């Protein structure tokens, strides 16, 4: 029941990713990314991780991408002119290095999949999560006990980033 849905959603994600990369209009790129984020939320929902799905939709599609689109509109970006110069050696070097990187990653992935026979289950199986009282309870329990220090460090990091952005963006008043 789940696998065909996942396959369909993954196919949509790949198509949207390609559209995002090759689109000449920045708004098209941004909106394919929005649709991609929502489809990814759909993938999470399909495997029963409703909490992560909702967060994915709220944070990425509902907040981060709004700011992206907002700045694209404010900067009034126009359609990108094609800048691929077929006579420059850089174009070919870039193309072949991307192909090489992709092949290397694919080789490494299949090597890994062949060795360990798929994913190894951790302590949080679906039944264990259900026993614990659902995704939210399980996740917050772990987050605020075992990984509490990491959680706080990340929030500190975000605070530093925010202060840094303020300092950089502040108008200099003489």
Partner 1 sequence: MTLFDIIALLLKLVFVLAVVLNAVPVVIWFERRGSAWMQGRVGPNRVGPFGLLQPVADVIKFIFKEDFVPKEASKFYYHVAPMIAAVAPFAAFAAIPFGSFLAIGGQQVPLQIASLDIGILSVLAFAGLEVYPIMLAGWASNNKYSMFGALRGSSQMVSYEIALGLSLVSMLLIYGTLNLTEMVVYQDQLMFGFMPRWGIFLNPIAFLIFLIAIFAETNRLPFDLPEGDAELVAGYHTEYGATKFAMFFFAEYVAMIMASSLLITLFFGGYALFPGLETVIAGIAGALQLSPEWTQNIRAAFQVAGFIFKVGCMMFFYVWVRWTFPRFRFDQLMNLGWKILFPLALVNLLFVALVIAWMGG
| Cβ neighbours of residue 82 closer than 8 Å, sequence gap 6 or more | 24
Query: How far is 27 from 81, CA to CA, in rounded Å?
Result: 15
CA dist list (Å): 155 to 46, 60, 161: 30, 18, 10
| Number of residues counted as binding partner 1 (CB under 8 A) | 23
Residues 106-145: x where in contact with partner 1 by CB under 8 A, - otherwise, as a string: ----------------------------xxx---------
Nearer to partner 1, 109 or 144 (CB): 144
Helices in 76-147 by DSSP H: which ranges? 89-116, 126-132, 135-143
Query: How far is 132 from 144, CA to CA, in rounded Å?
Result: 15
Nearer to partner 1, 13 or 23 (CB): 23
86 in contact with partner 1 (CB under 8 A): no
Identify the residue among 15, 20, 46, 55 touching partner 1 (CB under 8 A).
55
16 in contact with partner 1 (CB under 8 A): no
Residues 64-83: x where in contact with partner 1 by CB under 8 A, - otherwise, as a string: --xx-xx--xx---------
27 in contact with partner 1 (CB under 8 A): yes
| Cβ neighbours of residue 5 closer than 8 Å, sequence gap 6 or more | 46
């Amino acid at each position: 029941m789940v696998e065909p849905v996942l396959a369909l959603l993954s196919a949509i994600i790949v198509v949207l990713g390609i559209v995002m990369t090759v689109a000449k209009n920045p708004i098209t790129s941004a909106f394919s990314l929005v649709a991609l984020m929502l489809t990814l939320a759909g993938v999470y929902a399909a495997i029963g991780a409703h909490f992560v799905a909702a967060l994915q939709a709220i944070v990425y599609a509902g907040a981060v991408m709004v700011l992206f689109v907002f700045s694209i509109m404010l900067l009034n970006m126009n359609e990108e002119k094609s800048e691929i110069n077929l006579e420059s050696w850089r174009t070919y070097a870039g193309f072949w290095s991307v192909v090489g990187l992709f092949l290397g990653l694919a080789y490494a992935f299949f090597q890994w999949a062949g060795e360990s026979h798929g994913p190894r289950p951790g302590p949080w199986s679906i039944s264990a999560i259900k026993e614990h009282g659902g995704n939210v309870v399980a996740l917050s329990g772990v987050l605020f006990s075992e990984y509490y220090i990491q959680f706080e460090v990340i929030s500190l990091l975000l605070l530093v980033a925010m202060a840094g952005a303020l300092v950089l963006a502040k108008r200099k008043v003489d």
